[in-house]
Amino acid sequence: MLATEAAHLSPLATLSHTAIRQKEEPRLVDDYRTGFALDVDRVLHSLAYTRYIDKTQVFSLVKNDHITHRVLHVQLVSKIARTIGRYLRLNEDLIEAIALGHDLGHPPFGHAGEKVLATLCEEHGIGAFCHNVQSVQFLEQVEKNGMGWNLTLQTLDGIFCHDGEVHRQTLTPERDKTFQILFAQMDRQKNGASKTPSPMTLEGCVMRVADTIGYIGRDMEDAIRLGLITRNALPRAATDHLGNTNGTIVYHLVSDVIENSHGRSHVGFSQTMADALLALKQFNYRYIYYHPKLKQNGQVIKTLFEMLFHRFLDDLTKANVSSPIFQHFLDGKTKRYRDQHQPAEVVRDFIAGMTDQYFLAQSPKHIRPIPIG
């Protein structure tokens, strides 16, 4: 397998024999899977991945079975990224591992929940909440009862650096990272660093670009389906180059990335497509993500996050072992996890891991948010 990689992948690709783990696992020497293929399997078998099924993407509390959830988003991103990676002759196993794991850290109710949880975490002195940092936290500190999955540096780095909301025409890998450098970058982001670093591999760069391609047109289609916008309202600066359906948008962006990245040490768009993509992003922010209908439950969600955070923190302080935070989260956790995490961090991990429905089940019925539509 390794010889096949070296013969068929680009000289710029990340070969599996370079995979680095924090802890050596002698049994993996004879494993028929490559290091990055093993990461894919471990992400797929994580409890956090299972919970994707009830994590909403943009449109929370919506009664419509055809609106995108995170489980679909990560599958779409994986497909887009692997398509690009195949034409660039990059390591598809690494791309898939990053893609499937990149959004594991999202809390209930998407970015609205993330914003509230970030404030609560800062108020309790544990740094801001960042879903990309939390994705790594789940995989390496919370999963397997606190033992973690021992994923490779390249996969974890790609997950941390995946932020597809940041607009960049090109991405060049920051090679030669170590675990120490990665963890330092994560700490800086929790403490207010404004920019997400570039990934250390071209595969990570491809995944970051694919994250944008995966959500930009899909969010538009969902908004049209919900009647928040009309197709005729889309900006000509975007549609003249990208088309006005998700399918054409994905096709044109993927084609452009392949054409402008093939054989090069960076991944990116042409200037024309980068400008068209930016125009569509700006439209989505103005007319979709900040739409009043999507904000109508914002105060209720904020109140519930604050209520649950303080309730579970109090339960930990008072050692209320009948509390869900003991029964459904801390029970069985390793001494390592308990010793290395202060109470506010335990509450953060518990709430961030909740699905939307589990979160609502912990909330008083009389103040739960009203579904949209």
Question: What is the arithmetic mean of pLDDT over 240-255?
Answer: 98
Structural domain contains residue 255:
yes
Is the pLDDT at 65 greater than 90? The verdict is no
What pLDDT score was predicted for residue 7? 82
- Let me know if residue 176 belongs to a domain: yes
Calculate the alpha carbon distances from 239 to 211, 236, 274 in Å. 20, 5, 13
In-domain check, residue 186: yes
- Is there a single domain that holds both residue 305 and residue 287? no
pLDDT for res 311: 98
Q: Are residues 188 and 44 in the same domain?
A: yes
Residue 312 lies in a domain: yes
Local confidence band at 2 (pLDDT 50, 70, 90 cut-offs): low
Residue showing tokens 């993509």: 277
Look at residue 185 and tell me whether its pLDDT is greater than 70. Answer: yes
Whether residue 88 has pLDDT greater than 80: yes
Q: Which band of pLDDT confidence, cut at 50, 70 and 90, is reported for residue 194?
A: low
> pLDDT class for 59, splitting at 50, 70, 90?
confident
* Structural domains counted in the chain: 2
Mean pLDDT of the chain: 93
Q: Is the pLDDT of residue 373 over 70?
A: no
Same domain, 146 and 184: yes
Final residue belonging to a domain, choices 236, 262, 292:
292
Question: pLDDT confidence of 74, banded at 50, 70, 90?
Answer: very high
pLDDT at res. 164: 61
Q: Is 134 a domain residue? A: yes
Given a contact cutoff of 8 angstroms between Cβ atoms, the answer to whether 181 and 158 are in contact is: no
Residues 213 and 307 reside in one and the same domain: no
Instruction: Note the pLDDT of residue 258.
Output: 98
Instruction: Please give the residue range of the domain that contains residue 357.
Output: 298-367
Average pLDDT over residues 166-174: 89
Given 270, 292, 314, which residue is the final one in a domain?
292
Mean pLDDT confidence for 80-102: 98
Instruction: Name the percent of the chain lying above pLDDT 90.
Output: 81
Are residues 302 and 288 part of one domain?
no
Predicted local distance difference test score (pLDDT) of residue 249? 98
Q: Is 121 in the same domain as 207?
A: yes
Same domain, 319 and 276: no
Residue 295 has pLDDT above 90, yes or no: no
pLDDT, tens digit, for every residue of 7-58? 899 999 999 999 999 998 777 777 788 889 999 999 999 999 999 988 888 8
Tell me: do 181 and 317 sit in the same domain: no
The pLDDT of 268-288, averaged and rounded, is: 96
pLDDT of residue 3: 65
Structural domain contains residue 42: yes
User: In terms of domains, do 322 and 259 share one?
Assistant: no
% of residues, the chain, pLDDT over 70: 98
**Domain-terminating residue out of 292, 313, 335:** 292
pLDDT digits (tens, 9 = 90+) for 124-147: 999 999 999 999 999 999 999 999
Shared domain for 155 and 192, answered yes or no, is yes
Please indicate, yes or no, if residue 205 is contained in any of the structural domains. Answer: yes
Is there a single domain that holds both residue 287 and residue 303?
no
Question: What pLDDT does residue 341 have?
Answer: 97
Same domain as 266, residue 233: yes
